[in-house]
Amino acid sequence: MNRTQKEKIKKVLLKKREEIVEQMKQMRKNGSLGKSQKDISGDLSGYSIHMADAATDNFDREMQYGYATAEQKLLYEIDAALLRLKEKSFGKCQSCGRNIKINRLLAVPYAKFCVKCQEEEDKKKAGMV
């Protein structure tokens, strides 16, 4: 992989990182993360919240937590890829040590495995190996 390709991938990683950070800020600002049931509903009265409303709110909150968790994992992967770029180990499969094809890195710039090794990792995670 040449220097121009690495710079292009670095720009893509930094842009994606910025987008994720902004999405997470918006989620904290507008969403229900970190807020109590009473804060979410806006109900200041002493009456309890209807069970169906509470269930819907809980479902929405769980969805936001799931999304935030996935985004946090992606952010970690991006940061790890940026570190590999800095340390000059970017583009090498962390399993077999071979070069990861440029087309894969352009599609998934934070990839740490070649396609073959990624398939093996996926099989392990699925309990197939």
List pLDDT tens digits, range 57-107. Answer: 777 777 777 777 889 999 999 999 999 999 999 999 999 999 999 999 999
Give CA–CA dist 77/127, Å, rounded. 23
List pLDDT tens digits, range 95-125. Answer: 999 999 999 999 999 999 999 999 999 999 8
State pTM to two decimals.
Answer: 0.73
* Residue 76 and residue 56 in one domain: yes
* Residue 44 and residue 106 in one domain: no
* Residue 19 and residue 51 in one domain: yes
**Would you give the DSSP letter of residue 129?**
-
* Residue 85 and residue 121 in one domain: no
* Residue 37 and residue 73 in one domain: yes
SS3 of residue 31 by DSSP: coil
Domain range enclosing 103: 93-129
* Residue 116 and residue 60 in one domain: no
Name the token pair of 122.
């996926």
* Residue 49 and residue 86 in one domain: yes
The 3-state secondary structure of 75-91 reads HHHHHHHHHHHHHCCCC
* Residue 62 and residue 28 in one domain: yes
Tell which residue, 53, 21, 19, has the closest CA to residue 37. 53
Domains: count for the chain: 2
